[in-house]
Amino acid sequence: MKQLIHSTRNFIIPVIDFFYPPFKKIMNLQTFRYAAAGGGNALLGFIIYAVSYKYILHEQDLDLGFIAFKAHVAALFFSFCICFPIGFFMARYVVFSDSNVRWGVQMIRYLMVWIFNLFLNYILLKVLVEQLHVYAIFAQVFTTGVVIVVSYLAQRNFSFKVTNPIAEDKDITSQNQSTPL
């Protein structure tokens, strides 16, 4: 499995990095990789959302017998189920590969951010579609833009934050030295 992960990573990174030079002056490589990987995942999510909403659900509510979901909410759920694991792989192995946070911690943090983003997406869709009567697919395009910005900041500064163990050791040492006995 590790070999598959690394060979997939080693295929994706050069493809993304090939397109980086024109953007070098406006963003660093990590931000570009996030934009490319996250943009690709967002595009996949949007395609899944649109196909689910328009062709699988036929813009009709999904009634499971014990609970019913509006079509735009059910399509969001379908999109989430497919894009979550792909997004985690891309974030962990392509964008934030320099993170020294353990895998399990990254996964839990990533899930927490995704749940927050899913909730944010859900609220924005509810307001735009049900209150402001914006067509669901256009509403999803707008909410995707908002979620991308929030997600990047949260993933970079929380889920995959790179810690400097040397600086932490210095802080701990200085705290220990200043503590009276």
- pLDDT (tens digit per residue) in 95-137: 888 888 888 888 899 899 989 988 998 899 999 999 999 998 8
Is residue 36 within 8 A of residue 16, CB to CB? The reply is yes
Q: What is the DSSP string of 39-51?
A: HHHHHHHHHHHHH
Residue 170 has pLDDT above 80, yes or no: no
List for the chain the helix, strand, coil content (%; round to 5): 75, 0, 20
- The CA distance from 147 to 131, in Å, is 20
- The CA distance from 98 to 135, in Å, is 40
- pLDDT (tens digit per residue) in 4-53: 988 999 999 999 999 999 999 999 998 899 889 988 998 999 899 999 99
pLDDT confidence of residue 175:
37
The domain segmentation of the chain, as residue ranges, is: 2-178
- pLDDT (tens digit per residue) in 55-89: 999 999 999 999 999 998 899 889 989 998 999 99
pLDDT confidence of residue 145:
85
pLDDT confidence of residue 22:
95
pLDDT confidence of residue 164:
63
Residue 181 has pLDDT above 70, yes or no: no
